Chains A and B, each alone.
Chain A
Amino acid sequence: MTAVRLLLGKDLRVLGRSPALLVALLLYPVLIALLVALVARFAGDKPRVGFVDNDDIPREITVGGQTFDVSEVIDEVETEVDLIPLSEQDAEERLRTGDVVAAIVVPRGFVSRLQSLVRQPTLILRITRGGLAGRVERQTEALVYNLNRNLQDAYIEANLEYVDLLRQGGTGEFLGNEFDIVGLAGAERLLASLRDRRDDPAEQREIAELQAFVDEAELALTQSEETLRATANPIVLQLDDEGRRQWFLSAQVQAYALALTLALLSILVAAAGIASERDENVLGRLTRGLVRLGELVAEKIAFVTVVGVALGLALVLVLGLAIELSGSTAFASWLRLPVVAVGLAFAAAAFGAFGVLLGVLARETRTAALVALLVALPLVLLGSLPEVSVSPAAWVSRLFPFVHSVNLFESTLYDVDPAATVARELAWLLALAIAFAFGARLGIRRLLA
Chain B
Amino acid sequence: MQLSSADVSAVGPNHGDTHGGRRGEAETVPEGVVLAARGVARRYGSHVALAPTTLDVRTGGTLALVGPNGAGKSTLLGILAGALAPSEGSVIVADPPPRIGWVPQRPAQYGRLSARENLELFARLEGIDDVEAKVASLLRLVDLAAPDRPATELSAGNQQRLNIAIALLAEPEVLLLDEPTASLDPGQRRRLWELASSVREHGGAVVFATQNIDEVERFADVVAVLQDGNVVFHGPFDRLGEKRLPFSADLDLSARFARDTA
Which one of A281, A283, A284, A290 contacts B125 once the chains associate, using CB atoms below 8 Å?
A: A290
Complexed CA–CA distance, A2 and B124 (Å): 9
Q: Is B81 positioned at the interface, with any CB of A under 8 Å from its CB?
A: yes
Complexed CA–CA distance, A6 and B110 (Å): 13
Complexed CA–CA distance, A445 and B44 (Å): 13
Q: Which residue of B lies closest to A288 (CB)?
A: B82
Across the interface, do B125 and A288 meet the contact criterion of CB distance under 8 Å? no
Across the interface, do A290 and B109 meet the contact criterion of CB distance under 8 Å? no
Q: Which of A281, A290, A445 has the most CB of B within 10 A?
A: A281
Beta-carbon contacts under 8 Å, A252-310 to B: 280-291
Give per-residue flags for A28-55: 1 if the beta carbon is below 8 A from chain B beta carbons, else 0: 0000000000000000000000000000
Across the interface, do B81 and A288 meet the contact criterion of CB distance under 8 Å? yes
Q: Is A13 positioned at the interface, with any CB of B under 8 Å from its CB?
A: yes
Beta-carbon contacts under 8 Å, B107-125 to A: 107-113, 117, 121-122, 124-125
Q: Is A3 positioned at the interface, with any CB of B under 8 Å from its CB?
A: yes
Across the interface, do A3 and B125 meet the contact criterion of CB distance under 8 Å? yes
Q: Is A220 positioned at the interface, with any CB of B under 8 Å from its CB?
A: no
Across the interface, do B85 and A288 meet the contact criterion of CB distance under 8 Å? no
Complexed CA–CA distance, A286 and B126 (Å): 10
Q: Which of B65-73, B98-106, B251-259 contacts A (4 or more CB under 8 A)?
A: B98-106
Across the interface, do A448 and B124 meet the contact criterion of CB distance under 8 Å? no
Across the interface, do A13 and B102 meet the contact criterion of CB distance under 8 Å? no
Which one of A280, A448, A449 contacts B110 once the chains associate, using CB atoms below 8 Å?
A: A280
Q: Which of A283, A287, A288, A291 has the most CB of B within 10 A?
A: A288
Across the interface, do B109 and A282 meet the contact criterion of CB distance under 8 Å? yes
Which one of B104, B110, B117 contacts A284 once the chains associate, using CB atoms below 8 Å?
A: B104
Which one of A3, A18, A285 contacts B112 once the chains associate, using CB atoms below 8 Å?
A: A18
Across the interface, do A448 and B125 meet the contact criterion of CB distance under 8 Å? no
Q: Which of A3, A6, A285, A445 has the most CB of B within 10 A?
A: A285
Which one of B104, B112, B166 contacts A14 once the chains associate, using CB atoms below 8 Å?
A: B112
Q: Is B61 positioned at the interface, with any CB of A under 8 Å from its CB?
A: no
A14 → chain B closest CB, angstroms: 5
Across the interface, do A280 and B111 meet the contact criterion of CB distance under 8 Å? yes
Which one of B82, B109, B125 contacts A6 once the chains associate, using CB atoms below 8 Å?
A: B125
Beta-carbon contacts under 8 Å, A69-103 to B: none
Q: Is A138 positioned at the interface, with any CB of B under 8 Å from its CB?
A: no
Q: How large is the interface on B (under 10, 10 to 19, 20 to 34, 35 or more residues)?
A: 20 to 34
Give per-residue flags for B206-222: 1 if the beta carbon is below 8 A from chain A beta carbons, else 0: 00000000000000000
Complexed CA–CA distance, A204 and B82 (Å): 123
Across the interface, do B107 and A281 meet the contact criterion of CB distance under 8 Å? yes
Q: Is B83 positioned at the interface, with any CB of A under 8 Å from its CB?
A: yes
B166 → chain A closest CB, angstroms: 7
Complexed CA–CA distance, A291 and B124 (Å): 12
Q: Which residue of B lies closest to A289 (CB)?
A: B82
Q: Is B180 positioned at the interface, with any CB of A under 8 Å from its CB?
A: no
Across the interface, do B122 and A284 meet the contact criterion of CB distance under 8 Å? no
Across the interface, do B102 and A284 meet the contact criterion of CB distance under 8 Å? yes
Across the interface, do B125 and A286 meet the contact criterion of CB distance under 8 Å? yes
Across the interface, do B104 and A281 meet the contact criterion of CB distance under 8 Å? yes
Q: Is B78 positioned at the interface, with any CB of A under 8 Å from its CB?
A: yes
Across the interface, do B83 and A287 meet the contact criterion of CB distance under 8 Å? yes
Complexed CA–CA distance, A291 and B82 (Å): 12
Complexed CA–CA distance, A282 and B118 (Å): 11
Across the interface, do B102 and A285 meet the contact criterion of CB distance under 8 Å? yes
Residues of B within 8 A of A10 (CB): 110, 113, 121
Q: Is A119 positioned at the interface, with any CB of B under 8 Å from its CB?
A: no
Q: Is B240 positioned at the interface, with any CB of A under 8 Å from its CB?
A: no
Across the interface, do A14 and B125 meet the contact criterion of CB distance under 8 Å? no
Q: Is B84 positioned at the interface, with any CB of A under 8 Å from its CB?
A: yes
Across the interface, do A6 and B113 meet the contact criterion of CB distance under 8 Å? no
Across the interface, do A17 and B112 meet the contact criterion of CB distance under 8 Å? yes
B206 → chain A closest CB, angstroms: 17
Across the interface, do B84 and A284 meet the contact criterion of CB distance under 8 Å? yes
Complexed CA–CA distance, A216 and B104 (Å): 107
Complexed CA–CA distance, A23 and B106 (Å): 32
Complexed CA–CA distance, A448 and B104 (Å): 13
Known contacts A10-B121, A13-B113; is-contact A281 B108 (Cβ 8 Å): yes
Across the interface, do A448 and B83 meet the contact criterion of CB distance under 8 Å? yes
When A and B form their complex, which 6 residue pairs have the shortest distance between CB atoms, in order from nearest?
A284-B83, A281-B108, A290-B125, A288-B82, A285-B108, A14-B112
Knowing that A14-B110, A285-B102 touch, tell me 18 more A-B residue pairs with CB under 8 angstroms: A6-B121, A6-B125, A10-B121, A14-B112, A280-B108, A280-B110, A280-B111, A282-B110, A284-B78, A284-B104, A287-B83, A288-B100, A289-B82, A290-B125, A291-B125, A448-B84, A449-B44, A449-B84
Q: List 5 A-B contacts (CB under 8 A).
A: A280-B110, A281-B109, A284-B81, A284-B102, A449-B44
